Amino acid sequence: MLLGATLLFHTTLNYMEDNIGDFEAVPLPPKKIKKISTKNPIIKVNARGKNSWTLVEFSTRKTQKISEAETNRLSQVSWDLAFSRTKIISNGGETNPLGKTGVINLGPTNFDNIKTAPETGYAQDHRSLGNLLNKELTGWYNYRTRTHNIESKKNVYVLKLSNDIFMKMRILNYYCSQEANDCRSMTCAREEAACFTIEYLLTEPGSKKFTFPDTHLANTIFDKNN
């Protein structure tokens, strides 16, 4: 019996060696992941400009673009996070010493279970090898070598913003018109990349409690309609 099993093993191994090209061409089945649906505020950020930054102020939902050559303006305008392709920086530390934004990465935890912002531990930007970065945000995605796609880890981040406001957020998708699940099993075009879909929730000024509905969002919508 042992001799027969050994013979079968070597026969299978020889077959795989002779047909290795066929095995390499078979894609791995995509992991089954739970599709996220949310009633929390969603904002979409177009960060496709390679040599520019898209600045986002979440309390007003306002975005603006500046070029790499205009980074001196980062201290002259209101913003919380800035996006450029896969890069994300925050309004604080080396990026802007006058900025208040700090970030904590809580990992892939349940978004709605985060009821209160942490007291301490918020990291601001620093410079590494000439590049500005926030260590809490640098690892927000996985790079899929088979499809060459960017996939969010769905980490939850808590941010300390200006005006004594806190925010929790999660990056849901990186592609403009493709679902995140679609880009797990097929290559999504580069032209479709760098459109962030972000779920977020803000606290009241002076509070660390996250409550729904987001009154900042409600006030912004009211102001636009009146």
Domain map of the chain by residue range?
40-225
Q: What is the pLDDT of residue 188?
A: 67
Which residues of the chain register pLDDT less than 70? 1-37, 178-191, 213-226
Q: How far apart are CA 51 and CA 205, in angstroms?
A: 34
CB distance 100 to 79 below 8 Å: no
Q: What is the pLDDT of residue 192?
A: 75
The set of long-range contacts for 23-28, using a CB threshold of 8 Å and a minimum separation of 24, is 27/146, 27/185, 28/146
Q: What is the pLDDT of residue 206?
A: 94
- Say how many residues make up the chain: 226
The counts of H helices and E strands in the chain are 3, 13
Q: What is the pLDDT of residue 97?
A: 95
pLDDT in tens, 121-142: 999 999 999 899 999 999 999 9
Collapsing DSSP to helix, strand or coil, 22 comes out as helix
Q: What is the pLDDT of residue 181?
A: 63
